[in-house]
Amino acid sequence: MTSAGTTHEKTAAPAAAAVLYVCAERGKLNTGLVAERAEEEGNAFAQEHGLTIVETVQDEYGEPDPCRRPGWQRVREPAESGAAAVVITRWSACLAPERSHDLRHCEGRWLRQRGVRVRYLWAPLAKSGGEAK
């Protein structure tokens, strides 16, 4: 409660609200194909798991620090506001490459602190429920 007697509460997202984060390298031969495929997989995953995609965000793969990518900044907005409860992405390297795993863990922790789960599409990760630990 504030001194004026009003409360400032973050509106919790419906359990099914998700952001689909597509972070794909743009190649000369497959321009857009990888991103299209990731988006198709993300939509199918969401439907299969009863999730509603409220926004699809695309980023170009390359910058290891997710906070320096414009697309990841757009993912953080609904997480911060409570408009999304889940982030769906293809694999953990979309958050940050293995050489920068500390950044990936930091972002995962930031999301969890806001009640947001990360769900991965990649088959070996999806077998365990597709959820980041």
Residue 7 scores a pLDDT above 50: no
The sheet with strand 86-89 has its strands ordered as: 52-60, 17-24, 86-89, 117-120
* Options 3.40.640.10, 3.50.30.10, 3.40.50.1390, 2.80.10.50; CATH of 17-126: 3.40.50.1390
Q: Indicate the DSSP class of residue 121.
A: -
Residue pLDDT, tens place only, 11-54: 555 558 999 999 877 665 665 788 898 999 999 999 999 999 99
Residue 55 scores a pLDDT above 90: yes
Q: Mean of the per-residue pLDDT values for the chain? A: 83
Residue 94 scores a pLDDT above 60: yes
Domain-by-domain residue ranges, the chain? 17-126
> Position 18: which residue type?
A
Among 37, 133, 32, 15, which residue's Cα sits nearest to residue 90?
Answer: 37
Among 55, 58, 59, which residue's Cα sits nearest to residue 46?
Answer: 55
